[in-house]
Structure 1
Amino acid sequence: MVLRFPLLLLLLVLWGPVCPLHAWPKRLTKAHWFEIQHIQPSPLQCNRAMSGINNYTQHCKHQNTFLHDSFQNVAAVCDLLSIVCKNRRHNCHQSSKPVNMTDCRLTSGKYPQCRYSAAAQYKFFIVACDPPQKSDPPYKLVPVHLDSIL
């Protein structure tokens, strides 16, 4: 009985790094995963758009925002003045103009039958940016996280 608690604790500690809550598929760079999750130049219906994301993660994502702009235009925001992110890092950047976007929210279902509602918006956004990885587009910085919608 005494050994069970330390063993359970060890398993939880070892499991944490393997399956973090907001993990991205390891075969993708963070920038490519950002593009899959948040860049959608032409709006699609939420159920269809979200199935592409959910197929990677094998669960229904509760909420997601699609920016209706190109990856190139969103990456250009990374060249603007850096600001503090929600996580207190200093690698965030705010868009200089609002963009059309769609907010998709899970209403019902269990993977793979996820159902979403859609809300069209025209707002500013804040992205976190990092230096590109080898297979990323050759920008100085690339978007890796949608930090906020304003």
Structure 2
Amino acid sequence: MAQERFCILFPPLVLVLLVLGCVQPSLAKESQAEKFLRQHMDPDTSTVTPDYCKQMMKRRNMTVGYCKPKNTFIHEPLPDVQVVCFEGTVRCEKGKLNCHKSTSKMRITYCHLKKGSKYPNCDYETQQLQKSIVVACECRQYETVHFDGFV
């Protein structure tokens, strides 16, 4: 009887523990997945102006205290980016093995700090591209947590 009850309750318990492992323990701190969304996702953009990077880097808090040297914004729906976690595994720039490369090209904007630009006047070059992206995924590939590059 006790063994039957254990067999019934054990699978849901394991599932709950796996889900809790993906949840950020501190509500005040931005999770890696939330940071990815803030720093890299801009799916509703149909047009990108020459000032896009300067405006977005400031709006998304990437020029607070210093000028982030480079950043990439992805202009695709979030589900299209999340599905990359189930595509080809590749080695990340820093050697980890949780990166995945998209099989299709995506609309992105690459922002890089203009030469001579210094904090607090962060000025960026804006470059629109169509490239395959490489992202890192965690929690059994349910969350996109890092933009690793484009190819």
TM-score (norm 1): 0.70
User: Is residue 88–residue 102 contact of structure 2 (8 Å, CA) maintained in 1?
Assistant: no
User: CA-to-partner distance for each residue in 1:30-59, whole Å, 9 max, x for gaps?
Assistant: 011011111111155111101023457432
Match of 2:21 in 1: none
Match of 2:132 in 1: 124
User: Is residue 101–residue 135 contact of structure 2 (8 Å, CA) maintained in 1?
Assistant: yes
d(CA) in 2 for partners of 1:33, 1:60: 17
Q: How does 1:63-78 map to 2 (within 5 A)?
A: 63-78=70-85
d(CA) in 1 for partners of 2:93, 2:83: 21
Match of 1:141 in 2: 142
Please tell me whether residue 52 in structure 1 is matched to residue 59 in structure 2.
yes
Structure 1 residue ranges, 4+ long, deviating more than 2 angstroms after superposition: 52-58, 108-113
Gaps of 5+ in 2: 1-27
Aligned CA RMSD, in angstroms, stands at 2.1
Cα 1:124–1:113, aligned 2, differ >3 Å: closer, same or farther? Answer: same
Cα 1:96–1:55, aligned 2, differ >3 Å: closer, same or farther? Answer: closer
User: Is residue 93–residue 129 contact of structure 1 (8 Å, CA) maintained in 2?
Assistant: yes
d(CA) in 2 for partners of 1:38, 1:55: 11
Percent of aligned pairs with the same amino acid: 31
d(CA) in 1 for partners of 2:75, 2:95: 27
Larger-Rg structure? 2
TM-score (norm 2): 0.69
Match of 1:6 in 2: none
**Number of residue pairs the alignment of both structures matches:** 118
d(CA) in 1 for partners of 2:108, 2:143: 19
